[in-house]
Amino acid sequence: MHKHDQLYIDGRWVSPASPRRIAVINPYTEQPVGHVPDADSADADSAVEAARRAFPVWSATSVDERVALLKRCHEIFAAKRDAFTATLVSEVGMPAKLTRRIQVGLPMQQFDIFADLLPTALAERQIGHSRVLREPIGVVACITPWNYPLHQIVAKVVPAIAAGCTVVLKPSEVAPLNAFLLAEVFDEAGLPPGVFNLVTGYGASVGQRLVSHPDVDMVSFTGSTAAGRAIGQAASATIKRVALELGGKSAAVVLDDADLPTAVRATVSSCFLNSGQTCTALTRLVVPHSRYEEVARLAVEAAERFTLGDPNDDATRLGPLVSRAQQERVHALIRRGITSGADLLLGGAEAPLPARGYFCLPTVFGRVAPGSVLDQEEIFGPVLSILTYPDGDDAAALAIANGTIYGLAGAVWSQDAGRAARVAGKMRAGQIDINGAAFNIRAPFGGFRQSGNGREMGIYGIEEFTELKAIQMPAS
């Protein structure tokens, strides 16, 4: 059991204003694995005050000092890798071998990457008679989700601190335990008091206060598009910067000359990663009319290989959804998909499930209509939708791919590299994979349209937490 009764504020573990606690539930066993404080607005105020006090000194530290601290954090983090993995499996439910590689491995890499990129990101530029500087924006509130909790925390907190900002973190109340381990990393590394502060609680109390707080200069949020809209409105009163990484309904466009088996297998794997609880998941498979039957067969065959089970069993490929509420939401959307007239090819919401765990069967829908619920709504579960377009009509395929409010990610499959690049160039999304190209942790990550604004990762992730200043110099 992970019993956390204190918050990390101003470099110390302190008791919250209220004795209330939030239980953290293991999505496989359906039993509590720990609890964290249910903080309130007074705790949020204390954390912001600590961050504000720390900002002048921390922002004045040298780049070399901050680089050295990030490298110390990387070493301490690496020593705690097994603890991070076990904790994340228990609160998220992703299979352990994937958790170790993705949920823990990617954040661990980011400490070194941001340390390497920091001198370049903050380098002064000379433009004519102007010196152009990047300065830290100030106090940053980071509000993070439950699906890749540690990855999203590190993608915000580390570049903000590297840029010279001070931070208040509010992790998701569904998966907050990993944030306490990260606080221990910062504490052991000797991060000065007030530079990093951890406050757990609900969005309606802690989150709302941080977003509207006049001493918070920036909010960086990852979560649903609906929540992002509310945050943008609440933050507008103080004209603070808001970076939003929101939902997606990403399409894999398979052109008529593609390697079909490879394209379908890769798309199913993307769709089902982390039980479909991935904002960039390729949940729509867009294929030529004449190839539909073959695609449907290949998709079902690929989906059937995703075995459900204990996340700590190496044979498990599909862990549970994160909570009962999430399970009920996904099943409700599957039922709506059936009533919309799509063909249920595999899975669904009515077939028997394991006796315990918030599972959803791997589900594949065929002949999904553009504009229907399965084409438009982010389901956030292991649900693939197959849509078709007239053979050879790349414009029609693009119309389907671009035909949602989202624009986070996408993919193109073709044996003609030039054609694939042309189609990718016309997709309205922040990151496009061609023929299964791998995720690049140094490239900018973020969305178009209602998938959000701002960018994370790499040099762009550091720049997001800075202000530009031009100093005009007199002629000598």
Give tens-digit pLDDT for 253-296. 999 999 999 999 999 999 999 999 999 999 999 999 999 999 99
Q: Which residue numbers are catalytic?
A: 245, 279
Q: What is the CATH number of the domain that holds 318?
A: 3.40.309.10
> With 80 as the cut, is the pLDDT of residue 469 above it?
yes
- Rounded mean pLDDT of 450-475? 96
Q: Which of 13, 91, 9, 81 is nearest to 44 (CA)?
A: 9
Q: Answer yes or no: are the C-beta atoms of 109 and 441 closer than 8 Å.
A: yes
Which residues, at least 6 apart from 149, have a Cβ–Cβ distance to it below 8 Å?
Answer: 88, 91, 92, 103, 171, 172, 175, 176, 178, 179
Distance CA 194, CA 440 (A): 32
Q: Are residues 34 and 99 in the same domain?
A: yes
Distance CA 219, CA 210 (A): 8
Q: Answer yes or no: are the C-beta atoms of 400 and 390 closer than 8 Å.
A: no
Give tens-digit pLDDT for 304-359. 999 999 999 999 999 999 999 999 999 999 999 999 999 999 999 998 999 999 99
273: DSSP letter: G
Tokens of 40: 């309130």
Domain that holds residue 59: 2-246+450-472
Residue 445 lies in a domain: no
Q: Are residues 180 and 286 in the same domain?
A: no
Q: Are residues 374 and 414 in the same domain?
A: yes
Residue 201 lies in a domain: yes
Residue 308 lies in a domain: yes
Distance CA 250, CA 358 (A): 24
- Rounded mean pLDDT of 115-139? 97
Q: Are residues 366 and 384 in the same domain?
A: yes
Alpha carbon 219 to chain centroid distance?
Answer: 15
Long-range (24+ apart) CB contacts under 8 A made by 431-434 are: 431/280, 433/409
Q: Are residues 407 and 455 in the same domain?
A: no
* Torsion 176-177-178-180 (CA) sign: positive
Residue 378 lies in a domain: yes
- Residue 76 one-letter amino acid: I
> With 80 as the cut, is the pLDDT of residue 476 above it?
no
Alpha carbon 425 to chain centroid distance?
Answer: 24
Which residues, at least 6 apart from 371, have a Cβ–Cβ distance to it below 8 Å?
Answer: 403
What percent of the chain lies above the pLDDT cut of 90? 99
Give residue 475's pLDDT band: very low, low, confident or very high (50, 70, 90).
confident
Q: Are residues 219 and 295 in the same domain?
A: no
Residue 279 lies in a domain: yes
Q: Are residues 219 and 259 in the same domain?
A: no
Give residue 379's pLDDT band: very low, low, confident or very high (50, 70, 90).
very high
Tokens of 76: 């301490």
Q: Are residues 457 and 434 in the same domain?
A: no
Give tens-digit pLDDT for 81-110. 999 999 999 999 999 999 999 999 999 999
Q: Supply angle C-alpha 414, 280, 278, rounded to 5.
A: 135
Distance CA 311, CA 56 (A): 45
Which residues, at least 6 apart from 123, have a Cβ–Cβ distance to it below 8 Å?
Answer: none
Give tens-digit pLDDT for 166-195. 999 999 999 999 999 999 999 999 999 999
Q: Kindly state the helix (H) or strand (E) to which residue 152 belongs, with its residue range.
A: helix 149-163
Give tens-digit pLDDT for 380-422. 999 999 999 999 999 999 999 999 999 999 999 999 999 999 9
What pLDDT shows up at residue 411? Answer: 98
Q: Answer yes or no: are the C-beta atoms of 207 and 228 closer than 8 Å.
A: no
Q: Are residues 361 and 414 in the same domain?
A: yes
Distance CA 375, CA 368 (A): 7
Q: Are residues 162 and 307 in the same domain?
A: no
- Please give the torsion angle defined by the CA atoms of residues 292, 295, 301 and 304, in that order, rounded to the nearest 10 degrees: -80
Q: Are residues 133 and 261 in the same domain?
A: no
Q: Answer yes or no: are the C-beta atoms of 333 and 379 closer than 8 Å.
A: yes
Q: Are residues 264 and 230 in the same domain?
A: no
The structure's pTM equals 0.96
Q: Supply angle C-alpha 357, 363, 368, rounded to 5.
A: 145
- Residue 111 one-letter amino acid: F
- Residue 261 neighbours by CB distance under 10 Å: 13
More confident: 217 or 1: 217
Q: Supply angle C-alpha 423, 428, 431, rounded to 5.
A: 85
- Please give the torsion angle defined by the CA atoms of residues 256, 259, 263 and 266, in that order, rounded to the nearest 10 degrees: -170
Q: What is the CATH number of the domain that holds 193?
A: 3.40.605.10
Give tens-digit pLDDT for 206-250. 999 999 999 999 999 999 999 999 999 999 999 999 999 999 999
What pLDDT shows up at residue 1? Answer: 85
Residue 270 lies in a domain: yes
Beta bridge partners of 167: 140, 196
What pLDDT shows up at residue 345? Answer: 98
Exposed / middle / buried, residue 301 (Cβ in 10 Å: 0-12, 13-18, 19+): middle
Q: How many domains does the chain have?
A: 2
Q: Answer yes or no: are the C-beta atoms of 213 and 58 closer than 8 Å.
A: no
Residue 301 lies in a domain: yes
> With 80 as the cut, is the pLDDT of residue 124 above it?
yes
What pLDDT shows up at residue 286? Answer: 98
Tell me how far CA of residue 358 lies from CA of 84, 93, 329, 381, in angstroms: 22, 9, 11, 11
Q: Which of 277, 207, 279, 334 is nearest to 447 (CA)?
A: 279
How are beta strands 166-170 and 196-198 bridged, if at all?
parallel
Residue 68 lies in a domain: yes
Q: Which of 138, 146, 139, 84 is nearest to 111 (CA)?
A: 84
Distance CA 6, CA 380 (A): 32
